[in-house]
Amino acid sequence: MTAPSHLIGLIGANVAGSLSPLLHEREAAAHGLRYAYRTLDLDALGLAPDHAGQLARDAARLGYTGLNVTHPCKQSVIAGLDGLSDDARELGAVNTVVIDMHDRGPRRGGSGAAARLTGRNTDHTGFRTALLEGLPGAALGTVLLVGAGGAGSAVARALLDAGAGTLLVADAEPARAEQLAARLAGRRAGKPAGNAAAADGAGRVAAVVLDEVPTRLAEADGVVNATPIGMVGHPGTPFDASALTSRHWVADVVYRPLETQLVKAARAAGCRVLDGGWMAVAQAADSFELFTGRRADRARMRAHFLELAAQAGTELS
């Protein structure tokens, strides 16, 4: 019997150096699958982020069977999709698009469309897995989250699901932090009374001013960077890292490079650190399973990721 064939794409800006293609293809090879993964770089194509939805539909017409979506398209891509999973709808962000050629449900653009595109979000499940496996036993009494965009929304959901008691959200755009806090507070209000935060993701959520992050660290157990700051092309740290102490844990969602300036500062301060590779692998494994229906070997993918990162060098890792 011929092995299933998969053509997967990655929509985003500045994704030419992404490790996702080789990471997915290596795992697919271990399963005996025919699997090609291509980047659909907005910069190379000369497209603005608001074209992400149309790009997704064009990819489906060209035969792509699934898509990953990264910065800055996790929200703008929604305009081109036919439906959203519950988690993607709640988070208002999509990082995985499942393309179903056989689904006869309603399609955006009318019945002439060839495939149904459904947006999913594996960022929140990926970060939760990364946190539990990469920082086992991390204190979650109070956590600071910097970044309230697509990645920040997913990380916030993951932190609450993992049992964060208080989540403080900061963003360069204060209104965005306030909107995320209000949305998460509304989710909390909808939970049945009497459930523990660890069981129902019902921790307290509040927006704080970005400039307050260094002083707010005094009351926090850990901090997560969910902004692009620190990645290739966006150097620096998302806040003044000199306020970090050895009692903090620090997580970064950026994995290009693995050793961001924030990660380096955190290690120097004696913090427990979760580099962005943990989330990159966990969300990739979840996406791979949605695309193929096969169970991904996360330990194998983590080993492959570290090997690929070492081969690529620090600038592309």
CATH node for 124-274: 3.40.50.720
Fold of 5-121+279-312: Rossmann fold (3.40.50)
Q: Is 225 strand, coil or helix?
A: strand
Q: Binding site annotation covers 62?
A: no
What's the CA gap between 158 and 180, in Å, rounded?
A: 13
Cis peptide before 72 (omega within 30 of 0): yes
**The pLDDT of residue 123:** 95
Of the CA atoms within 13 Å of residue 243, those in its CB half-sphere come to: 18
What's the CA gap between 121 and 144, in Å, rounded?
A: 22
169 exposed, middle or buried (CB, 10 Å; 0-12, 13-18, 19+)?
Answer: buried
Q: Binding site annotation covers 299?
A: no
10-residue averages of pLDDT along the chain (317 residues) = 84 92 98 98 97 98 96 94 95 95 58 79 96 97 95 95 97 96 76 40 86 96 96 92 97 93 98 97 98 97 94 56
The verdict on whether 264 is a catalytic residue reads: no
**The pLDDT of residue 196:** 38
Q: Binding site annotation covers 168?
A: no
Q: Binding site annotation covers 86?
A: yes
* Domains 5-121+279-312 and 124-274 equal at CATH topology level: yes
Q: Binding site annotation covers 151?
A: yes
Are 25 and 35 spatial neighbours (Cβ–Cβ below 8 Å)?
Answer: yes
Sign of the Cα torsion 310, 224, 11, 298 reads: positive
List the domain boundaries for the chain.
5-121+279-312, 124-274
**The pLDDT of residue 71:** 87
Are 38 and 24 spatial neighbours (Cβ–Cβ below 8 Å)?
Answer: no
Q: Binding site annotation covers 123?
A: yes
Q: What is the pTM of this model?
A: 0.86
Q: Binding site annotation covers 237?
A: no
Q: Binding site annotation covers 224?
A: no
**The pLDDT of residue 103:** 56
Cis peptide before 49 (omega within 30 of 0): no
**The pLDDT of residue 232:** 82
Q: Binding site annotation covers 149?
A: yes
Whole-angstrom CA distances from 91 to 86, 87, 121, 156 are 9, 6, 8, 9
Among 6, 74, 128, 216, which one carries the catalytic annotation?
74
